[in-house]
Chain A
């Protein structure tokens, strides 16, 4: 299945469109998405820092997802690098 991930913060520097599309197997979980994002970043973004991805979370519009959560079907998926509000 194809999954679109919206990018925020430092990830915007990697892709000006702030959106990537990844191919994942049916029933994939957040840990699978993280692995796919790592492979995509390594292949497409020369300045990609795997450490930033390791410290980033994934979320839907309503919740931060845990590693073993199944990917929600439909709706927006986003990557959240370490936050710095205020």
Chain B
């Protein structure tokens, strides 16, 4: 686990740098590196977007990030390195919202671990996004319920 990083990044203090993530998961023993970068789109459901504010319950989010990395390491390791960072605060169009990078000896494990982690971050982490539209409106995105009475995603994202 010492070979992995997970963190929240306050956009008012720093931007997430995907190049740093790739460097972190690089190793002479690793022939496969997989990088996912999630960025703020310029539109949502046909409405022009100015930016997104991310709200995060940090203690639970970081606890969950650690568990996701631990699960991926158990499943695809032991030779694996993971970098996971998610933004917090107000982002503009084009800003990086989330980065997942995985390094493993071969590509299959890197692809699978990266996909597994980003899907779990989107569907399970206590993170909410409020989209700010060009017309002045702001809306919280529909998301995935974490209730035990709602066990699967019913929103298109």
Contact = CB atoms under 8 A, between A and B. Distances in A.
Contacts of B148: 57, 66-67
Interface in A37-61: 54-57, 59-61
Contacts of B102: none
B98 A85 contact: yes
A84 B126 CA distance: 8
Contacts of A8: 55, 57, 126, 128
Contacts, number: 98
B73 interface: no
B57 A78 contact: yes
Size range of the interface on A?
20 to 34
Nearest to A69: B148
B38 interface: yes
Interface of A: 6, 8-10, 12-13, 54-57, 59-64, 66-67, 76, 78, 80-86
Given A59-B57, A86-B118, 7 more contacts: A8-B55, A54-B149, A56-B145, A59-B146, A81-B140, A84-B140, A86-B86
19 contacts: A54-B149, A56-B146, A57-B145, A61-B63, A62-B60, A62-B63, A64-B146, A76-B59, A80-B57, A83-B123, A83-B127, A83-B144, A84-B142, A85-B54, A85-B86, A85-B98, A86-B86, A86-B121, A86-B122
Interface of B: 38, 54-55, 57, 59-60, 63, 86, 97-98, 118, 121-130, 140-150, 155, 157
